[in-house]
Structure 1
Amino acid sequence: MEKEQAAKLLDKAALICVSKHSGQRDKVGEAYFQHPMRVAMRCATAEQKMVALLHDVIEDCGVTAEDLLAEGFPQEVVDGILSVTKRPGESYEEFVERAKQNPLGRVVKLHDLEDNLNALRLDHFDADMAARYNKYLAARRSLQF
């Protein structure tokens, strides 16, 4: 992908991320869009960053793969987003294994888990968070290269 096209699509991905997650809060009360932004900052390539910025919009915001293709995102990027979108009825382990099969999805899911595991930003660490933390650690081990 050309640098100029990548820059335009990154801008578009950031705008979609912020607008679609507008008003959403994470488990500690922060604006949710900050999570995909942090994940994107960990990524190396423009395509990884696009997937990171948009990794929750299909699952959480009613956006479709067709919407993203219509916005001009390449099939490779949309496939990466789909690989990190949990399907109804899919176990978490199946989901992680599927993400692992896509080169973009694997990198983005790994960075997503790293951000989710950042316990330094958590005010409290209850039993539910401990269980989630252990689930994310196991998934991260599975995804590592």
Structure 2
Amino acid sequence: MESNQQNPQANEMANELAIELATELALNFHRGQRDADGDPYILHLMRVMLKCHSTSAKQAGLLHDILEDTSATEDDLIQAGICPNVTQSVKRLTRFAHIDYADYILALAEDPIAKEVKIADLEDNYAIGRVKYRSEHRLEDARRLERYILSHRFLSGHLQRTEYIEAMRLVGLA
């Protein structure tokens, strides 16, 4: 979709339509959902999308929680017109409860689209203005932030795979 060099206007229009499609799906499936601050969940998805560069990553950014947090299925995405590579990235971004967080990050790191989206997601999740301090959950919150920071460092190339695994193990997150 992003490689039509003969007609840049057609390419730009196709990219816009692809993002609109993902936006519509996200709005429909996440309708009524709120984040921890009580804000519409779609705002998180939009912030993640805005941090992404390629159209495929923008689509995946809008859809990154759709399989995990809604009734949507992989088939729903395909039938709606989401291309297979974006659908596959969204699937990689879906963390199932039985999968260890470090293993989840290591697996999605192999997918460039999923990796770009997860970096944007982590940045939004631990943005200083959005981080909650809950005295009754401070240890749990601190562990979650440490997990986000270590995962971001690994995905952005500042920690090697073995360093990431060891760091997650040392803090009891792997």
Q: State the TM bucket, normalised to the shorter chain.
A: over 0.9
Structure 2 residue 14 is matched with structure 1 residue 5: yes
Q: CA deviation at 1:124?
A: 3.1
Q: Which runs of 5+ in 1 are unaligned?
A: none
What does residue 62 of structure 2 align with?
53
What does residue 118 of structure 1 align with?
127
What does residue 34 of structure 1 align with?
43
Match for 1:140 among 149, 152, 159? 152
Question: Could you say what secondary structure the match of 2:152 adopts?
Answer: helix
Q: How much is the aligned-residue C-alpha RMSD, in angstroms?
A: 1.4
CA distance in 2, matches of 1:123, 1:75: 36
Q: Which runs of 5+ in 2 are unaligned?
A: 2-10, 158-174
CA distance in 1, matches of 2:44, 2:132: 16
Match for 1:18 among 27, 42, 45? 27
Q: CA deviation at 1:88?
A: 3.8
Deviations along 1:74-126, one digit per CA (max 9) or x if unpaired, are 11111111111112410111111111010100000011000001021345354
Q: CA deviation at 1:129?
A: 2.1
What does residue 7 of structure 2 align with?
none
Q: Larger radius of gyration, structure 1 or 2?
A: 2
Match for 1:131 among 135, 143, 165? 143
Question: Could you say what secondary structure the match of 1:87 adopts?
Answer: coil
What does residue 95 of structure 1 align with?
104
Would the aligned equivalents of 1:41 and 1:49 in 2 still touch at CA under 8 Å? yes
Identity %: 29
Q: TM-score, normalised by structure 1?
A: 0.93
Q: TM-score, normalised by structure 2?
A: 0.78
CA distance in 1, matches of 2:34, 2:23: 17
Would the aligned equivalents of 1:10 and 1:46 in 2 still touch at CA under 8 Å? yes
Highest RCO, 1 vs 2 (Cα 8 Å, sep ≥ 6):
1
CA distance in 2, matches of 1:62, 1:98: 23
Letter in 2 for 1:139: S
Q: 1:4 to 1:73 in 2, by over 3 A?
A: same
What does residue 104 of structure 1 align with?
113
Q: CA deviation at 1:3?
A: 2.8
Would the aligned equivalents of 1:28 and 1:122 in 2 still touch at CA under 8 Å? no
Q: CA deviation at 1:15?
A: 1.3
